[in-house]
Amino acid sequence: MSEQYRQLSPSEFFYRNREVAGFSNPTRAVYQAVRELVENALDATEMHGILPDIKLELREEGDGSLTLAIEDNGIGIPSSEVPNVFGRVFYGSKYVLRQSRGVFGLGVKMVVLYAQMTTGRPVKVRTATARSKFVYEYEVMIDVEKNIPVIKSLKISRNDSKWHGTRVELSMRGNWVQAKKRVEEYVRRTALIAPYARISLEAPDLVLRFERSVEKLPPAPKVGRPHPKGVDIEMLRMMVERSKRSTPLVEFLVENFDGVGPVTARKFCEWAGLNPEMKLRDLKVSDLELLALKMQEFSGWRRPKASTLSPLGEELLAEGVRAVLNPEFVTAVSRAPSSYGGHPFVVEVALAYGGAIPPAERPLVLRFANRIPLLYDEGVDVSVKVVTEKIDWRTYKVEFPAPLAVVTHVCSTKVPFKGVGKEAVADVPEIESEIEAGVRECARRLRLHLSRLERLLEAKRWRVTVGKYVEDVSRALSYITNYDEEQLRSRLVELIRSRSSRGGR
Amino acid sequence: MAVAAPDRQRYEALRAIEEVARQLVAQIARGEGPYLEVPVRTLANIIWDPQSKLLKLGPRKLRRDFLDAGEARKFMQTVLMMSLLARAIREGDYPTIRDLYYAGKHTIEYTDEYGRARKEETWDVQKESDSVIQDIEVLTGFLREQMGILHDTKGKIVGRLTIRSGADVIDCSRMGDGAYSIPPNPDALEVLEVDAEYVLVIEKDAIFNRLNKERFWEKHRCLIVTGKGQPDRSTRRMVRRLWEELGLPVYVLTDADPYGFYIYSVYRSGSITLGYESERLATTGARFLGLTITDIYDYKIPRNFIIKAKDRDLKRAKELLNYPWFRSSKEWVKQLQLFLEKQEKVEIEALSGYGFKFLTERYIPEKLSTGAWIE
């Protein structure tokens, strides 16, 4: 497949199909460019144990173009790789399975392509790897027809400050005024899901600065093998091709798939009616089809390992929500790993109430997939379906309009996106039920919190109701009995105080 | 000495109020939430005592706890009113219940549970202050008349009766076309002389005026009284004294409908709302002279004078049938059942169909001489 595209120039292919990648109009293009660059910056840092420090700048130039610059403190790009990373569209993905924001580098090349197409200017890249003695500054363009990078200039300087990271700057056509709200929302939500990052944005009429609220990164995901249930024919064919042709089927299964031991492999072969000792070279195309089908159908596989996933964890998620939404109450749940169709996934849910959240007729739903904020296509997302259709919030003492925000985070080696925009998660039953369980667990905690508030308010109301009469009661009783008025008053006040500290009546 | 007695009563009432307040202060001093135990003044706690033929207050009491959010306001109002009553007695004032309402009304300013500044009146309407006065009456066992609290009165009396009120001597037979207005506290009146054989209590003021104009009381040697509909306490107390102290039989004349019947029962047995003072106010020997439902047919009242009973009349009649003080009387059950059956009522004035003097010259004398009353 890739061979064919290489001959047709993948650059050209993407260039012609830019709307698929999210560059359909000048507004969407700005948002998409910011998104790709921020996600790259986060991957270059947090995946490598570095607390991210990301600076984003946007400028409107006199000629109507938009300059976009992003700088991170990540691992940097080895100098020799820079032209290819930014100037050649190719399949950078290997068959490794782990949760990452995207297939490495593909998106950023779309940004470069779009920029070059709309302004004709090269992308400027400044980078240094850790402990690099030099800082490299490139200006790169893509030769679209040949799909090769063209280096316009290269400057090398001494890295005296021991800086490492990458700064990318490019010029593009884009509608900043229209895109502003989305970009702001995107950065805000990114800060929510990455509370360990320092993120700043300077743009016309918009300055955002999110300080790091925790100094702790979530554990990085491990590289894993695919689960047999999640296999398709194409994938299987490539794996067979990569293996030695004399390998017996049972050995092939054990070596290439997640959680498959010799015992399971033999059990499977027996169940599928395949000879476990059959050499790969003897597999016919029809056998391959059968194998893929049977692997999907077999129910004896172990559940996929979740070690390839990197959920944020309850503590970090709650902290992110607290820092960005500034609510009165926040709670988070990280569900146990689960799987659908051979793909492991973890659902995380946070619920925030009150404080700076404005009351609304519906809960505010903030969706994330693999730590990427999902902003578009809210109406068809499974989280929105669960939050607005499946949950009766009155059960949890929430009366709308309410200052309620629900945060959902789906982590998976394969998030089942709906449509090409990758902005909405499809309603896969397994994921839907995990989201529902997570929301309900959070909602139960919210109900406890609201009940406590109710009791406190009730006690306060009681103190007010009774307390407002202390004056008149002590004056009247003092007049009738000649007992000291002040003493009566202080005794009554004390009585009310001690009674309400026992929880009122 | 007639003046000294009520004054002594006032001071006894004051001491009772002080005693209640002292108990509250003692509770507070002990660190307890102060509370009052107020006898319940609703139908549920009204007991018909067939022996004494009185409506009495039952044993049920309501604990009015200051620390109970639902009772705190009433508690405050009660002690506030107690202090107003104490002040009136100590300072020798005789306020009306309306005076007390104004004297105690002021604005309480406070901050509510949401931190907002709020205001509240000690009482919004006189009904509230009147209600706590009644509570204090049952709490202390002293009626407001005994405390020297005045109220609007509507009772009138005429006849050969001479009384002393304060420093004045009043001859109730020398009122012209008017009548002596029964004062708020009839206990302060001293009866000097009486020349009458019975007391005729008339529901309606207009009929009372007509009988007075005809000098009925002179011709028939009686006293006539009206409470203008539902009688107030002083009218009832006055009738009671005439019956009890002077030994005069009392006859009641009302319309032939359930409301008239209930008015009679209030004179005789007491009312539900004031059940606690029946023993002082009720005239248990009062007789119902008329008009009865059977009178409608016995006296052949012309059909065009008969009024069709309304739904609320029927409802009221059914209620009366459930009151033990009606239910225990065969004659009343008969009258009420006849009413429910015929669904007809008449006013006293219907007798004028036989001439204006029919009531005074025929109906009343005939009823009295034949003993055709209900007891």
Own/partner pairs, B328-334, CB within 8 angstroms, 24+ separation = B328/B48, B328/B50, B329/B374, B329/B375, B331/B374, B331/B375, B332/B261, B332/B374, B334/B294
Region A207-218 average pLDDT: 92
| DSSP one-letter code for B360 | I
Residue B1 has pLDDT above 70, yes or no: no
Residue A197 has pLDDT above 60, yes or no: yes
Of the pLDDT bands very low, low, confident and very high (cuts 50, 70, 90), residue B164 is very high
Q: What pLDDT is stored for residue B49 in this prediction?
A: 80
- The span from the CA of B74 to the CA of B64, in Å, is 8
With respect to residue A413, please indicate whether it lies within any of the assigned structural domains. Answer: yes
Q: How far B118 CA sits from the closest chain A CA (Å)?
A: 10
Region A434-450 average pLDDT: 96
Beta-strand pair B250-253/B198-202? parallel
Q: Are residues A96 and A39 in the same domain?
A: yes
Residue B16 has pLDDT above 90, yes or no: yes
Task: Assign 3-class secondary structure to A432-468.
Answer: HHHHHHHHHHHHHHHHHHHHHHHHHHHHHHHHHHHHC
Q: What pLDDT is stored for residue A425 in this prediction?
A: 94
Which amino acid, one-letter code, is at A429?
Answer: P
Q: Where are the beta strands (DSSP E) in chain B?
A: 35-39, 46-49, 54-57, 61-65, 107-111, 117-121, 156-158, 161-165, 168-171, 180-181, 189-194, 198-202, 222-226, 250-253, 287-290, 307-308, 344-345
Quick check: helix, strand or coil at residue B351?
helix
Residue B21: its chain A contacts at CB < 8 A? 476-477, 480-481
Which amino acid, one-letter code, is at A49?
Answer: G
Residue A505 has pLDDT above 80, yes or no: no
Q: Are residues A477 and B25, on separate chains, in Cβ contact within 8 Å?
A: yes
Quick check: helix, strand or coil at residue B62?
strand
Q: Are residues A469 and B87, on separate chains, in Cβ contact within 8 Å?
A: no
Q: Are residues A472 and B76, on separate chains, in Cβ contact within 8 Å?
A: yes
Q: Number of A:B CB contacts under 8 A? A: 87
Of the pLDDT bands very low, low, confident and very high (cuts 50, 70, 90), residue B340 is very high
**Which residues, at least 6 apart from A203, have a Cβ–Cβ distance to it below 8 Å?**
A56, A57, A58, A59, A176, A180, A183
Interval B263-282: pLDDT, tens:
999 999 887 766 677 778 88
- The span from the CA of B203 to the CA of B251, in Å, is 11
Task: Assign 3-class secondary structure to A194-255.
Answer: CCCCEEEEEECCEEEEECCCCCCCCCCCCCECCCHHHCCHHHHHHHHHHCCCCCEHHHHHHH
Token representation of residue A205: 């009429």
With respect to residue A215, please indicate whether it lies within any of the assigned structural domains. Answer: no
Q: What pLDDT is stored for residue A447 in this prediction?
A: 96
Token representation of residue A274: 């395949």
Q: Are residues A479 and B87, on separate chains, in Cβ contact within 8 Å?
A: yes
Triad B143, B149, B152: Cα angle to 5°: 105
Token representation of residue A159: 């890295």
Q: How far A462 CA sits from the closest chain B CA (Å)?
A: 6
With respect to residue A219, please indicate whether it lies within any of the assigned structural domains. Answer: no
Interval B184-235: pLDDT, tens:
889 889 999 999 999 999 999 999 999 999 999 999 999 999 999 889 989 9
Of the pLDDT bands very low, low, confident and very high (cuts 50, 70, 90), residue A226 is confident
Q: Are residues B80 and A492, on separate chains, in Cβ contact within 8 Å?
A: no
Highest mean pLDDT: which range of A1-15, A461-475, B315-329: A461-475
Q: ipTM, 2 decimals?
A: 0.75
With respect to residue A202, please indicate whether it lies within any of the assigned structural domains. Answer: yes
Q: What pLDDT is stored for residue A9 in this prediction?
A: 65
With respect to residue A217, please indicate whether it lies within any of the assigned structural domains. Answer: no
Residue A131 has pLDDT above 70, yes or no: yes
- The span from the CA of A69 to the CA of A124, in Å, is 9
Q: CA–CA distance from B263 to each of A165, B154, B201, B255 (Å)?
A: 100, 15, 11, 10
With respect to residue A404, please indicate whether it lies within any of the assigned structural domains. Answer: yes
Q: What pLDDT is stored for residue A503 in this prediction?
A: 47
Q: Are residues A54 and A129 in the same domain?
A: yes
| DSSP one-letter code for A356 | T
Interval B123-134: pLDDT, tens:
999 999 999 999
The CATH number for A276's domain is: 1.10.8.50
CB A228 within 8 A of CB A239: no
Considering chain B, what percentage of its residues have pLDDT values greater than 90?
66
Q: Are residues A291 and A341 in the same domain?
A: no
Q: What pLDDT is stored for residue A10 in this prediction?
A: 65
Of the pLDDT bands very low, low, confident and very high (cuts 50, 70, 90), residue B146 is confident
What is the signed CA dihedral for A35, A40, A42, A47, rounded to 10 degrees?
140
Q: Are residues B69 and A479, on separate chains, in Cβ contact within 8 Å?
A: no
CB of A460 within 8 Å of a chain B CB? The answer is: yes
Q: How far A359 CA sits from the closest chain B CA (Å)?
A: 17
**Which residues, at least 6 apart from A497, have a Cβ–Cβ distance to it below 8 Å?**
A463
- HSE on the CB side for B254, CA within 13 Å? 26
CB of A203 within 8 Å of a chain B CB? The answer is: no
Which of the two residues, A500 and A210, has the higher pLDDT score?
A: A210
Residue B76: its chain A contacts at CB < 8 A? 469, 472-473, 476
DSSP state string for A73-130: -S----GGGHHHHHH-------S-B---SSSTTHHHHHHHHHHHHHH-PPEEEEEE-T
Residue A463: its chain B contacts at CB < 8 A? 113
Q: How far B344 CA sits from the closest chain A CA (Å)?
A: 52
Residue A490: its chain B contacts at CB < 8 A? none
Of A464, A466, A476, the CB nearest to B79: A476
Angle between the A176-193 and A314-325 helix axes, to the nearest 10 degrees?
140
Q: Are residues B29 and A467, on separate chains, in Cβ contact within 8 Å?
A: no
Residue A477: its chain B contacts at CB < 8 A? 21, 24-25, 28, 79, 83
CB of A242 within 8 Å of a chain B CB? The answer is: no
Interval A280-331: pLDDT, tens:
888 887 888 888 888 888 888 887 777 788 899 999 999 999 999 999 999 9
Residue B113: its chain A contacts at CB < 8 A? 457, 460-461, 463-464
- The span from the CA of B348 to the CA of B208, in Å, is 11
The alpha carbon of residue A485 and the mean position of all alpha carbons in its chain are separated, in whole angstroms, by 65
Q: Are residues A33 and A128 in the same domain?
A: yes
| DSSP one-letter code for A396 | G
Q: Are residues A479 and B68, on separate chains, in Cβ contact within 8 Å?
A: no
Region B144-150 average pLDDT: 85
Considering chain A, what percentage of its residues have pLDDT values greater than 70?
91
Interval A239-294: pLDDT, tens:
888 888 888 999 999 988 888 889 999 999 999 888 889 888 888 878 888 888 88
- The span from the CA of B56 to the CA of A190, in Å, is 77
| Chain B residues in contact with chain A using a Cβ-Cβ cutoff of 8 Å | 17-18, 21-22, 24-25, 28-29, 31-34, 66-69, 72-73, 75-76, 79-80, 82-83, 86-87, 108, 110-113, 120, 122
CB of A466 within 8 Å of a chain B CB? The answer is: yes
Highest mean pLDDT: which range of A82-86, A91-95, A373-377, B28-32: B28-32
Q: Are residues A454 and A438 in the same domain?
A: no
**Considering only A25-34, A79-88, A195-204, A454-463, which range has the smallest mean pLDDT?**
A79-88
Q: Are residues A7 and A152 in the same domain?
A: yes
Residue B30 has pLDDT above 80, yes or no: yes
The CATH number for A90's domain is: 3.30.565.10
Which of the two residues, B46 and A364, has the higher pLDDT score?
A: A364
Beta-strand pair A372-374/A364-369? antiparallel
Quick check: helix, strand or coil at residue A374?
strand
Q: How far B261 CA sits from the closest chain A CA (Å)?
A: 43
Active-site residue numbers of B?
A: 102
- The span from the CA of A11 to the CA of A15, in Å, is 6
Q: Count the domains in chain A.
A: 4
With respect to residue A221, please indicate whether it lies within any of the assigned structural domains. Answer: no
Triad B140, B144, B149: Cα angle to 5°: 135
Q: Is B77 exposed, middle or buried (0-12, 13-18, 19+ CB in 10 A)?
A: buried
Query: What's the mean per-residue pLDDT of chain A?
Result: 87
Q: Are residues A425 and A400 in the same domain?
A: yes
Q: Are residues A465 and B108, on separate chains, in Cβ contact within 8 Å?
A: no
Region A359-379 average pLDDT: 91
Interval A58-98: pLDDT, tens:
999 988 899 999 999 999 988 888 888 887 765 443 334 44
CB B267 within 8 A of CB B250: yes
- The span from the CA of A234 to the CA of A250, in Å, is 19
Q: Are residues A368 and A385 in the same domain?
A: yes
Walk me through the domains of chain B, giving residue ranges and CATH numbers.
4-140 (1.10.10.10), 156-370 (3.40.1360.10)
Q: What pLDDT is stored for residue A94 in this prediction?
A: 32
Q: How far B128 CA sits from the closest chain A CA (Å)?
A: 16
Domain of A274, in residue numbers: 228-297
Q: Are residues A62 and A120 in the same domain?
A: yes
CB A348 within 8 A of CB A332: yes
Q: Are residues A390 and A483 in the same domain?
A: no
The alpha carbon of residue A383 and the mean position of all alpha carbons in its chain are separated, in whole angstroms, by 14
